[in-house]
């Protein structure tokens, strides 16, 4: 037990000492894909705004057959957290394989590659929720400030879960590249099986069983409770989200520790 604690302490210190590299990697993720564009980083604000406007027009100005009132709010309040989680699950698989050259040519704590992916994705998620909240205020949608405060622990728990997913899946992908391609298809399944466009209570049959086996459901329902329904999150979500987050982080980190010694050889 003492040895494991010392190893964790050593890893944390290595990450801290390499914080400059971590900042550079986060900046690369946030700015890199917009490097040759005129607006650059501003696209991280513009894209969520376009999504919000699209949902508003489709589900307010265009008649749609749905039992969900203000469906644009229902979807908008969940979409950015969903994108963060799926980006960690699907996109996070290449945290190591996508940086093979860096891992081979220089020494750096491999943990920062995981953290860089998760931090940059969470920054985009937070920007999205900033746009959501501004839009809700402008449109006069009711907001409960006390409930809104629970968005902070929710995002922290989602971040922990996402880090655990990246640790686990990116480590396994170094050894089995098919995982990356399999998870690409899984992203479509998660889009269908996560109650983001429909209410969980409306699901029936096998879908009702499957959506509650999907860990993303608990995070999405929490955010629906506090932003769409303007009420405190259900007890089941308050219990399950910390359990899922801590469990995923522990499993992911232990698998990473077990496999990381063979990364250079496999990459």
pTM of the full predicted structure? 0.87
Q: Which of 60, 50, 87 is nearest to 191 (CA)?
A: 87
What number of CA atoms fall less than 13 Å from residue 232's CA on the CB side? Answer: 4
SS3 state of residue 69: coil
Cβ-count burial of 53 within 10 angstroms (0-12 exposed, 13-18 middle, 19+ buried)?
Answer: middle
Q: List, in sequence order, the alpha helices (H) in 149-202.
A: 151-175, 178-193
One pLDDT digit (tens) per residue for the chain, 267 residues: 555 566 677 778 887 777 887 788 887 777 666 565 556 667 667 767 776 676 665 555 444 545 688 888 998 899 999 999 999 998 888 888 888 888 887 778 889 999 999 999 999 999 999 999 999 999 899 999 999 999 999 999 999 999 999 999 999 999 988 887 777 777 777 877 888 888 888 877 787 888 899 999 999 999 999 999 999 999 999 999 999 999 999 999 999 999 988 887 887
Asked whether 245 and 158 are in contact (CB, 8 A), the reply is yes
CA distance 89 to 173: 12
- According to DSSP, residue 213 is labeled T
Helix (H, G, I), strand (E, B) or coil at 201: helix
Nearest Cα to 152, choosing from 260, 69, 259, 241? 241
Q: State whether residue 242 is helix, strand or coil.
A: helix
């Amino acid at each position: 037990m003492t040895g494991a604690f010392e190893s964790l302490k050593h890893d944390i210190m290595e990450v801290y000492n390499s914080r400059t590299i971590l900042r550079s990697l986060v900046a690369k993720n946030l700015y890199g894909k917009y490097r040759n564009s005129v607006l650059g980083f501003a696209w991280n604000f513009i894209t969520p705004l376009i999504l919000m406007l699209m949902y508003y027009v489709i589900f307010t100005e265009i008649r749609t057959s749905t039992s969900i009132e203000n469906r644009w709010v229902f979807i908008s309040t969940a979409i950015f957290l969903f994108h963060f989680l799926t980006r960690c699950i699907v996109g996070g698989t290449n945290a190591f394989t996508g940086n093979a050259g860096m891992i081979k040519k220089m020494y750096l704590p491999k943990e920062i590659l995981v953290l860089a992916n998760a931090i940059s994705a969470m920054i985009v998620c937070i920007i999205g929720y900033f746009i959501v909240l501004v839009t809700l205020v402008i449109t006069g949608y009711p907001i409960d400030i006390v409930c809104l405060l629970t968005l902070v622990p929710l995002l922290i728990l989602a971040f922990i879960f996402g880090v655990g997913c990246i640790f686990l899946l990116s480590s396994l992908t170094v050894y089995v590249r098919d995982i990356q391609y399999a998870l690409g298809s899984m992203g479509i399944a998660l889009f269908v099986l996560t109650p983001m466009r429909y209410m969980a209570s409306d699901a029936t049959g096998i879908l009702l069983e499957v959506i509650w086996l999907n860990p993303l459901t608990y995070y999405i329902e929490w955010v629906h409770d506090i932003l769409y329904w303007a009420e405190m999150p259900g007890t089941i979500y308050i219990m399950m989200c910390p359990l899922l987050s801590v469990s995923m982080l522990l499993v992911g980190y232990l698998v990473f520790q077990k496999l990381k010694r063979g990364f250079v050889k496999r990459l």
